[in-house]
Structure 1
Amino acid sequence: MLNDIYQNLDPVALSLGPLVVRWYGLAYVAGFALAAFIIYRIARRWRLGLTMDDLLTLMICAIVGVVVGGRLGYVLFYGDGYYFAHPLEILAFNQGGMSFHGGLVGLLAGGAVAARLTRVPYLTLADLGAIAAPLGLFFGRCANFVNGELWGAPTDGPWGVVFGGAAGMMPRHPSQLYEAVLEGLVIFCVLFALSRRLPPRPRGTFVGAFLVLYGIFRFLIEFVREPDVQLGYLWGGWLTMGQLLSAPLVVAGVALLVYAARRKLSQEGPQRPSAPEAGDTAC
């Protein structure tokens, strides 16, 4: 036990009277802010002609989609019927409970709204979001570690971390950090490197690659991550809800990569209606 690593981090970053700022909330702020910066820089490199209004519209739609989708996804996938009996607690965001897969669906839906408002092709916005999103995942998983939640299975390895509380005093895999590195840093580095080529790769390439990589990494990490206590293991005691939801992402990602390779649609900016020329007035 002398060599064990103990997680004693405070989830509260700042407390001023009734105002409490948590690292988890700061992770969301940092993730969205950095995502906006990355999207802006890549859009400039791709010469898409996105304005600051376009970027603001995209980020507002993304934030609403991620928060609403993430919460509803947790309620549906991981609530195990609890929230149907206590519907008012669906709005209790301060109690935690967000689902990546629900957030992904919400983000895709928000992207559809943003595409309609900005007149940017949907898959171009999806590709931009796919490149930037892993940084948000990185901050979010680090915040999970700080909160001492979503811990891994017990391990005898020297890297085991004692989380205490409901996790007990046995060393566990710091699965939050595994996910931060693989789902966050690795995917971002791969997609960002791919985005450097000009002209950019066809529409759908980046979101397809993101889905494949995330689905594979999440499926593998679930083997060393403790399943949610209210659900446990599914189907014979080996499959988790995370794996059940991640496997279809790989299939969808491969299908999207095939579509992108066959259609070869170029990345495009806003398709704004051209201004009428002088003399083109209606009679």
Structure 2
Amino acid sequence: MESIFSYQFFQNALIASLLTAVVCGVVGAYIVVRRIVFISGGITHASFGGIGLGLYLGINPILSAAGAAVLAAFSIGRMSRSEGIREDSAIAGVWALGMALGVLFMTLTPGYTTSLPSYLFGNILLVTSADLVSLAVLALLLVVLFTMGYRTILYLSFDRDFAEIRGVAVRRWEQALLVVVAISMVLTIRTVGIMLLLSLLTLPQTIVGFFTSDFRRIILGSILISLLANIGGLLLSYYVVSVPSGVLIILLLFLLLALAQCVRTLLRRGGRG
């Protein structure tokens, strides 16, 4: 058991697990409570187009993906408000466009692009020192933002109208938080991938939400569950079954979700009795 922890790549993976848990726990709590999971899915898949463009142009795909994600976030809001398009239709359109552009640029890129599957499905064992620095900075900024602006974010998450009555600049805060969500998703793509990211951003929050509606507890509980699933997936992938850790992380989350639902059912029956 001690030998695997001596490898630098596994140490990086453990640090990435912690930082990803913090990022996804904080951002995911806002996404779930604010009920913008579908919007987040559109943003995540739109970033695939940015990744393909970055690889085609020979620039950092994370930077191009971040640009595409932010553009998608604002495009969804603009189309639904100004162009008379239903929000769900705008999300679906941006979602499909991002994936189509990603495939197009992948096809146009000379040679075989081996890195694209890692962005789709993730591989936390390939996380670099630069990725860790980016995740650490993002995690720190999120903690500072959600600590200093906790009440404002709380009002926005649960009751937008109440936030307006309290004098909150709702539109500006929502746009700023949407940008934060977009950037957070892009920087965590390398760990679990585009196809699996939404589960890490929603399942831990759903599990905690079975037992509490307190926003702070949802954030903290989501971080702990995400960390447990991340480390559990890593260890299972290495010691038990040769399956990508990202897949095992999601399977563990679904297992925890099923267990949490059973516990909640038993508690409700016990309360009735």
TM-score (structure 1 length as normaliser): 0.31
TM-score (structure 2 length as normaliser): 0.32
Greater RCO, CA 8 A, separation 6+: 2
Q: Which one has a larger percent strand, Structure 1 or Structure 2?
A: 1
Q: Which one has a larger percent helix, Structure 1 or Structure 2?
A: 2
